[in-house]
Amino acid sequence: MSLPRIAVDAMGGDEGVRVMMDGAAEARRRHDKFQFLLVGDQARIEAALEAHPNLRDASEILHCEDVVGGEEKPTQALRRARTTSMGLAVNAVKAGDAGAAVSAGNTGALMAMSKLALRTMPGIDRPALAALMPTLGENDVIMLDLGANTEADARNLVQYAIMGAAYSRILTGRDQPRVRLLNIGTEETKGTDALRDAAGQLQEATGLALSFDGFVESDKINRGEVDVVVTDGFSGNIALKAIEGTARFVTDLLRTAFTSSFRSKVGFLVSRPATELLRHHLDPNNHNGAVFLGLNGVVVKSHGSATAAGVANAVAVAARLLEENLTRRIAADLAELGEDRLREGSSK
């Protein structure tokens, strides 16, 4: 039996329908068992599909001309959830017409629509936004929450750890992903009451499919020494943007240095294989596809500026999570911990 189809918001993203269709077609080549529901302006989608018969033959188009604006407030977007391409893609998951939804549109609107339509899983108080970041190790690191909730108490952080570990097991194949809480130091006395309380709960827990060993500082996130970094959405979003900004700074600095003189240009030609490897490693398109964890369904957020390769990676993430049944894994891990063992802690 074929796996559920993936609903793609064809109108989301800065680059328009063509790039979304190019990316979906590439993802279809990787996961040829999947069918697609393409939501957006039918004429524009059909025109883009002329170059991709493999996607056209595996897709159904749901016509929709209304689009959520990039600067639109989530409350405004929610009022048009039944008429916009983003809202219809998410509602297709709710109705069972798709197993997952992918959009490159407004993040806040997508989160609001997803939470309202799909609701949180039993045992999860708040969904979290999880994304992949490159490391010096063999695998990417998963970080959550990256902005879905600005505050988190100890109970939320423990739930994030469980969800992040379930996601990491799918990506890395590790039976016990290395999970750490983001903090200003690694000492047990550092951090807020919520962080210390969450650390205590995770250390006391038995039977969980994760390895917890305290805190990690932000300068160690990309060292390859941890698989899942857990934090509140406020701190996580700041850390993410600082890392992305540093990556762009390094890339731009190298470009400037290598074009500053004739000797530098010769040096660039000699070192080009190494610089190309660096550029590839730091390219956000190669790690594209943030996931809203904790919902009764799979929703993946693509960068608005993603290239076709980036969109393909985001769609591939959705396909992988459906293949591996992420929501079932999270539910099983929550059952292992037990509701009565989760505490709110003294800080919210």
Q: What mean pLDDT comes out for the span 97-116?
A: 92
pLDDT value, residue 30: 82
- Going from the C-alpha of 90 to that of each of 86, 106, 205, the distances in angstroms are 6, 13, 35
Q: Band of the pLDDT at 21, cuts 50, 70, 90?
A: very high
Q: What is the pLDDT of residues 235-262, one digit of tens each?
A: 988 888 887 787 777 777 767 766 766 6
Q: What angle do CA 108, 146, 279 make, to 5 degrees?
A: 105
- Residue 61 in contact with residue 97, Cβ under 8 Å? no
CA distance 283 to 63: 33
User: Which tokens sit at 339?
Assistant: 């509701």
Q: Is it the case that residue 1 has pLDDT exceeding 60?
A: no
Collapsed DSSP state (helix, strand, coil) of residue 56: helix
pLDDT of residue 303: 83
CA distance from start to end of the chain: 45
Nearest to 179 by CA among 217, 211, 220: 211
Rounded mean pLDDT, 265-272:
55
Structure tokens given for 23: 């990316």
Residue 220, CA distances (Å) to 230, 274, 324 in order: 13, 23, 29
pLDDT of 93 strictly over 90: yes
pLDDT for residue 348: 39
- Give CA–CA dist 162/209, Å, rounded: 8
Nearest of 98, 95, 100, 96 to residue 82 by alpha carbon: 95
Domains and CATH numbers, the chain: 1-118 (3.40.718.10), 127-287+325-348 (3.40.718.10)
- pLDDT above 90 for 179: yes
For residue 85, give the nearest of 40, 18, 115, 116 by alpha carbon.
40
pLDDT of residue 150: 86
Contact status, residue 230 vs residue 180, Cβ threshold 8 Å: yes
Mean pLDDT computed over 287-301: 90
CB 199 within 8 A of CB 221: no
Distance of alpha carbon 237 from alpha carbon 243, whole angstroms: 10
Above 80 in pLDDT, residue 302? yes
Lookup: tokens for 45: 């989608």
Instruction: Decide the pairing of beta strands 100-103 and 6-9.
Output: parallel
Average the pLDDT over 196-220 and give the result. Answer: 89
Res. 346: pLDDT tops 50 = no
How many CB atoms neighbour CB 260 within 10 A?
10
In Å, how far from its chain's centre is CA 14?
Answer: 18
Pairing label, strands 6-9, 36-40: parallel
347: confidence class by pLDDT, cuts 50, 70, 90: very low
